[in-house]
């Protein structure tokens, strides 16, 4: 008998032909499929002629669903986990189920496929070597802008998910906090009939959304260029902070202030300051 296994299976994010052959083989072979919304998944499975028992596993019952799935695994059965679209556990339920299956000692296998993150990055041409995915930003403006302020200095491409009813206010917040100069990729309806990936400056993005109601329709991935070098180094680069302070203040005072700004211990900064001074920084006596 095959080893009981939890398969985490990616499903399409729009175009049904994006399901993989391995995903279909797996979904056909398991004893049960845990699905985020069984009505949504029933349509997908019917399209591919798959008839397997469905178990509901959504964000409000994931712990109980996990227990049910672990019980099935304990009986020697294999189960698959799918979400409404894309890869489970990416802004979707799944992580708790996987953790519980692993904790109970069962084999977990990921069957890769579509995710809106990678699909959007591939089409936008904004990749900078690394990216940071944040899922959905907070719905309330104050919370959203506070979160964005925390991300402003990050150098990596910043990736967000957003729903159509919040797209304009979300993009407006990003432009307000990050400034207008960076480029944003607005990827909507990926793999679907009205797929569109629009790249522009942040200060042009709200106008583009408002220019045509179709631009505000569908599901969105937002990709925003990371902050410029100066932003990222800014106040937390101890060398730079010390250099500036040493130009205006006596060494001891400069070290004390730099320790407060950077959170680095005074001793370590003191040594750096001495070296800077020796290398010719303009310290005041």
The contact set with ligand SAM (CB under 6 A) reads 13-14, 83, 85-87, 90-92, 115-117, 161-163, 187-192, 219-221
Q: At its nearest, how many Å lie between ligand SAM and the CB of residue 142? A: 22
Q: Which is nearer to ligand SAM, 14 or 185 (CB)?
A: 14
Burial of 249 (0-12, 13-18, 19+ CB in 10 A): middle
Please tell me whether residue 197 adopts helix, strand or coil conformation: strand
Q: At its nearest, how many Å lie between ligand SAM and the CB of residue 193? A: 11
H-type alpha helices, 76-156: 95-103, 116-124, 141-151
**CA–CA gap between residue 192 and residue 210 (Å, rounded):** 21
Q: Which is nearer to ligand SAM, 191 or 281 (CB)?
A: 191
If we measure between CA atoms, which residue out of 155, 159, 52, 151 comes closest to residue 116?
A: 159
Q: At its nearest, how many Å lie between ligand SAM and the CB of residue 84? A: 7
The residue with its CB nearest to ligand SAM is 86
Q: Which is nearer to ligand SAM, 78 or 87 (CB)?
A: 87
Question: Quick one: tokens of 234?
Answer: 């800014």
Query: What phi and psi, each to the nearest 5 degrees, are found at residue 9?
Result: -110, 125
Q: Which is nearer to ligand SAM, 132 or 274 (CB)?
A: 132
Q: Which is nearer to ligand SAM, 135 or 282 (CB)?
A: 135
Q: At its nearest, how many Å lie between ligand SAM and the CB of residue 136? A: 7
**CA–CA gap between residue 10 and residue 63 (Å, rounded):** 21
Q: Which is nearer to ligand SAM, 109 or 232 (CB)?
A: 109
Q: At its nearest, how many Å lie between ligand SAM and the CB of residue 195? A: 7
Are 19 and 11 in contact, with CB atoms under 8 Å apart?
yes
**CA–CA gap between residue 57 and residue 38 (Å, rounded):** 9
**CA–CA gap between residue 25 and residue 18 (Å, rounded):** 14
Q: At its nearest, how many Å lie between ligand SAM and the CB of residue 118? A: 8
């Amino acid at each position: 008998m095959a080893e009981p296994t939890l398969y985490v299976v990616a499903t399409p994010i729009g175009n049904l032909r994006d399901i993989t052959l391995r995903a279909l083989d797996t979904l056909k072979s398991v004893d049960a499929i845990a699905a985020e919304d069984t009505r949504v998944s029933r349509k997908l499975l019917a399209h591919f002629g798959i008839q397997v028992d469905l178990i509901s596993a959504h964000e409000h019952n994931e712990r109980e669903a996990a227990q049910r799935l672990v019980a099935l695994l304990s009986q020697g059965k294999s189960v698959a986990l799918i979400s409404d679209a894309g890869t489970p556990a990416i802004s979707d339920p799944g992580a708790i189920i996987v953790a519980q299956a692993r904790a109970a000692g069962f084999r977990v296998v990921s069957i890769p496929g579509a995710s809106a993150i990678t699909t959007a990055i591939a089409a936008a041409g904004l990749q900078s070597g690394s990216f940071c995915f944040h899922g959905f930003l907070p719905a309330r403006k104050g919370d959203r802008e506070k979160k964005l302020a925390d991300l402003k200095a990050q150098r990596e491409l910043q990736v967000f998910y957003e729903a159509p009813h919040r797209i304009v206010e979300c993009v407006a917040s990003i432009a307000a906090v990050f400034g207008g100069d960076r480029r944003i990729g607005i990827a909507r309806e990926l793999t679907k009939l009205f797929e569109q990936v629009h790249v522009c400056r942040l200060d042009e993005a709200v106008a583009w959304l408002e220019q045509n109601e179709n631009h505000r329709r569908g599901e969105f991935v937002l990709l925003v260029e990371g902050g410029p070098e100066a932003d990222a180094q800014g106040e937390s680069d101890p060398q730079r902070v010390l250099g500036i302070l040493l130009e205006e203040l006596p060494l001891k005072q400069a070290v004390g202030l730099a320790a407060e700004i950077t959170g680095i211990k005074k001793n370590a900064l003191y040594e750096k300051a001495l070296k800077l001074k020796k290398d010719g920084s303009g310290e005041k006596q």
